[in-house]
Amino acid sequence: MHQQRTIAEKVSCTGVGLHTGVPVQLTMHPMRANSGVVFVRRHSGRGMETVARSSAVTSTSHATTLGTGLASVSTVEHLLAALYAFGVDNVRIEIDGPEVPAMDGSAAPFVYLIRSAGIFVQPEPSAVMRLRSTIEVSDGERHIRIEPASQFRISYAIDFEHPAIGRQELALPKVSPQIFEREIARSRTFGFLAEVQALRQAGLALGGSLKNSIVLDSKRVINSGGLRWRDEFVRHKVLDLLGDLSLLGLRLKGHVVVERGGHALHQRLVKEILARPEAWTIQGPVAGWQRGLDVEPPAASPA
């Protein structure tokens, strides 16, 4: 049984938001068991909480946003992916701006923060969702499903009509801190030079640069350092998936298979999972997991 974890001490970072371009300071604090991951948006001396759950998702346009108004926090997926991969179940994330800092466009800086803070293992078990039957959602050529498996696995495929990307596939037979740090964490967000003007007119990518994104023109990657892996693009999609799935608020045992996914499709799967309680069982503290949910899960199964 997986035991709950929090960070051992407070840790902070500063940066600018990828889409807002706003400078921000982010501080993570340890939290007691069964608290979950909670964002606290600081504004004019006030702190407004948003629990990191699917019910709090208000936008999946180019990033995942939680909460509304002055309580909203966007581009949460890279930080959430790192916390999930390292098994951090309980943490308070205070932020004084509208967006998690982009850092270098990957989750590697957040891995560094978590390792700097240290991990404190708590005595309470964490909730684990085990799939009993397959759940799938589709949108044209885009598909995502989760099927029963003895552990958490991911198979992801993307297909872009761009000579520097094309079709890429990645299979992770398991997700551990070591595998995440070695294979996924350093993969960066990416975008196309032809779309930059339209994005900025829409109020997006205002903080984007070659320092925190892979940028492609019509033929190639224009970053002077090139790619960190040839298939860095699909690796980053896996990173986004982990952050989005973490909004279930528990550990997963199942095989997630994705064809041409993205934030919106990821969240459709999360909502479909929650709408199909007959397709899964929960091991561990159901009461703690229910915080922030709009659904009534079935009775917990024995460990």
CATH number at residue 174: 3.30.1700.10
Pairing of strands 135-139, 142-147: antiparallel
- Tell whether 199 is covered by a domain: yes
The CA distance from 97 to 9, in Å, is 22
Greatest extent of the chain over all pairs of C-alpha atoms, in Å = 54
Q: Give me the pLDDT at residue 292, please.
A: 54
Q: Could you say which residues of the chain have pLDDT below 70?
A: 1, 287-288, 290-303
Kind and range of the H or E run holding 28:
strand 23-30
Half-sphere exposure of 31 (CA within 13 A, CB side): 20
| Full residue range of the structural domain in which residue 91 is found | 3-125
Handedness of CA 162, 62, 169, 77 (dihedral sign): positive
CATH number at residue 46: 3.30.230.20
Q: Give me the pLDDT at residue 299, please.
A: 47
Q: Give me the pLDDT at residue 291, please.
A: 58
Sheet holding 255-259, edge to edge: 135-139, 142-147, 255-259, 153-160, 166-172
29 shares a domain with 168: no
106 shares a domain with 39: yes
Q: Give me the pLDDT at residue 290, please.
A: 65
The CA distance from 198 to 203, in Å, is 9
191 shares a domain with 66: no
Catalytic residue among 62, 255, 263, 266: 263
Handedness of CA 159, 161, 163, 164 (dihedral sign): negative
**Nearest-CA neighbor of 74 among 47, 53, 112, 101?**
101
- Tell whether 299 is covered by a domain: no
- Tell whether 301 is covered by a domain: no
Structure tokens at 267: 């969240």
Domain endpoint, select from 67, 91, 125? 125
277 shares a domain with 134: yes
Q: What are phi and psi of 246, to 5 degrees?
A: -60, -20
266 shares a domain with 132: yes
279 shares a domain with 189: yes
Q: What are phi and psi of 213, to 5 degrees?
A: -155, 150
45 shares a domain with 188: no
Q: How many domains does the chain have?
A: 2
Q: Give me the pLDDT at residue 73, please.
A: 97
CB 88 within 8 A of CB 119: yes
- Tell whether 54 is covered by a domain: yes
135 shares a domain with 111: no
Is 255 an active-site residue? Answer: no
**Nearest-CA neighbor of 84 among 241, 239, 237, 243?**
243
Q: Give me the pLDDT at residue 205, please.
A: 82
The CA distance from 82 to 88, in Å, is 9
115 shares a domain with 22: yes
Q: Give me the pLDDT at residue 303, please.
A: 40
- Tell me 297's DSSP state: P
260 shares a domain with 157: yes
278 shares a domain with 134: yes
- Tell whether 220 is covered by a domain: yes
